[in-house]
Structure 1
């Protein structure tokens, strides 16, 4: 079944949406007791246990899936499909507004075009939309209304969803032409600052878009505001520093769904300082003092990160320069 889903999902950019809608629909039917899938599955197992001959039903389903999957694979088993080249029109966008960022403008334009024109990077925009509504999973639930310490965690995720998805693969997004980029007469610090600026702007935009969550209480808005400041001041620098350890190439033309290309130990470990650390800081101050002090602690740490931005960027730039040739060599490999 996984191979069949993978085969059909490769044909569209939004392949994961039907899967999410389908799974979410089943979950909703079960949650609201419209259809109890727990009982259905339970009765199914009991029936097979009591009448062993019924095991033939899942076996027939397995054989059917195998034959269908075999047919799909056989249809694609010819060389010409791998030699075809796609011909598509390139849409141009007006990115003149990026000129306000001075020397960083060319790099920002490059990133924005890269995000919009490629399958893998375009997925970050759709995940951004899903992440923005992440709070609706928790805030309407009365059980979470009595757990305000959880608001900071959700706030970090909602305002930093683009930062996390895009930032964790810096500079691997540019791996296809990284060698050419590094051969140009450019300042590495400007290249990195353009990434930082793009992520910081995304945090601000997501915070503004998340303001309607105040409908569920002012404490949620306060947590999102503190989380946004923390994301800009701390998490942007953390994820930029983590990017200096990226050694895996990314093929931008490949689909995003079920694609773990470019994912390494860095992408798994970076989640600890990004999510667990701020939640821990907020939890400690919330437990010792109050909710407001917990939010203030996150905001203050974020402000310090913003104040020392220039020094932090110099440290990060030095780290990238030290790893420059290792990354060039790694991105030249087909991994």
Structure 2
């Protein structure tokens, strides 16, 4: 039965009317996936030597074991955004003599074959091979790898249970931040508590039974949940959804823009895919810590320009590149009403502007690493406000692919086209090149000044630029409407 289900899913994929439309994007993402697997395999093979050099007085296995608790928490946190829940059109099977247990096992089996489980496999298998060549016990290494893969499956199935809960996401994120802070400031060593536990999976092979039992237990909970939900009449019951309402009265002070702004805020808060953009933007505020704390990047000013553009403009990029596809389900209705297109676009620009300013304020603490960091972030934020906002709105006029807001936020290529890749050139690469040119010819001050001047020019010419963007949207209006009507695009 499992083979038959797989065959049907395979035929459904290739016979889809939409298969050929995004073939180029699928191929490109395939190359990225292969690249990621190669990088992970190389990282796993080199991890033993990296750890031995970084902490020469400890066994690499012991050092790695201390950080595995963070790996578990971070992977669980990231999977909330990235891993798509296993879906299958089961309605046709509910009127046939197909066992519900077979359907449930197939859905969970497909989840076990997830790409995200494969990523862990490509990292830990090369690491184990190196351990064998370094004289580690073969049986211990093999059973340790089995335990790690059982943990991966436990994370996979636990994610299926908590994926719909924002509270669970907040709890996991809070645990990660608090644990790291306790370790970093020397208040309490989380690593010393969990290090021996994970190292015990290698030192005492019998302990492999613990993660195996845990994986089976979580699998069984998922199975019972799915088995109890697979009923034909359950799909006929009207859904009862408790709406979380807010009048957002403060948006009225923006006049005509307030109505559009209120709709955008409600859309962002009520839909998982849009809300995830907010969480990701906040998460990437900490991205600078990866570079500012490394001496190798201390004098790499172009890298700091990249961080400035990226951190202050992360919401601009993630949310702005899909304008107006976020409204695709009702875009044709909007365009048939007496709604000023200019006001609609200005409301999007206002929302993104607020995000850029807010993200810049969150990056102010990076001044701890020097005034250049603060100055570059300020210049990049100003450039984002004056130049990148009109640019990304202009490119939005080429979006013709529909987005279903109730779909999973990541691992989801819905709404993606070549436009999303091309837009990174003017938004991300151009300001870095401009800053780098004036930095190498003159100084950091001149580079930041040029970015600020360009941003101010863009703000002064805001009305002119928005007029041109509006004209472009009017030209592309009917093409966008036709594109948004095509579902699964």
- TM-score, normalising length: structure 2: 0.56
Secondary structure of the residue aligned to 1:256 is: coil
Once the two structures are superposed, the pairs formed by residues 137-156 of structure 1 within 5 Å of their partners are: 137-156=290-309
8 Å contact from structure 2 (residues 301, 436) kept in 1: no
Larger Rg: 2
CA–CA separation in structure 2 for the residues paired with 1:246 and 1:14: 33
| Aligned with residue 446 of structure 2, among 275, 293, 302 | 293
Give the count of matched residue pairs: 322
Q: CA 1:82 to 1:276, structure 2 compared with 1: closer, same or farther past 3 Å? A: farther
> 1:85 and 2:239 equivalent?
yes
Deviation at 1:295, TM superposition (A): 1.3
Q: Could you tell me which residue of structure 2 aligns to residue 273 of structure 1? A: 426
Q: Could you tell me which residue of structure 2 aligns to residue 182 of structure 1? A: 335
1:267-307: CA deviations, max 9, x gaps? 22211211111111111111111111111121122122112
8 Å contact from structure 1 (residues 152, 295) kept in 2: no
Deviation at 1:255, TM superposition (A): 3.1
Secondary structure of the residue aligned to 1:315 is: helix
Structure 1 unmatched runs, 5+: 26-32, 44-59
Secondary structure of the residue aligned to 2:292 is: coil
Deviation at 1:89, TM superposition (A): 2.9
Secondary structure of the residue aligned to 1:133 is: helix
1:172-213: CA deviations, max 9, x gaps? 111111122112211100100110011111111211221111
Taking only aligned residues, the RMSD between alpha carbons, in angstroms, comes to 3.8
Deviation at 1:316, TM superposition (A): 0.7
CA–CA separation in structure 2 for the residues paired with 1:129 and 1:308: 30
Structure 2 unmatched runs, 5+: 1-111, 115-155, 180-190, 203-211
Deviation at 1:126, TM superposition (A): 0.5
Secondary structure of the residue aligned to 1:138 is: helix
Determine which structure has greater relative contact order: mean sequence separation of CA pairs < 8 Å that are 6+ residues apart, divided by chain length: 1
> 1:250 and 2:408 equivalent?
no
Once the two structures are superposed, the pairs formed by residues 110-259 of structure 1 within 5 Å of their partners are: 110-259=263-412
Q: CA 1:94 to 1:20, structure 2 compared with 1: closer, same or farther past 3 Å? A: closer
| Aligned with residue 480 of structure 2, among 311, 327, 330 | 327
CA–CA separation in structure 1 for the residues paired with 2:170 and 2:392: 27
8 Å contact from structure 1 (residues 152, 282) kept in 2: yes
Q: CA 1:330 to 1:211, structure 2 compared with 1: closer, same or farther past 3 Å? A: same
Deviation at 1:91, TM superposition (A): 2.5
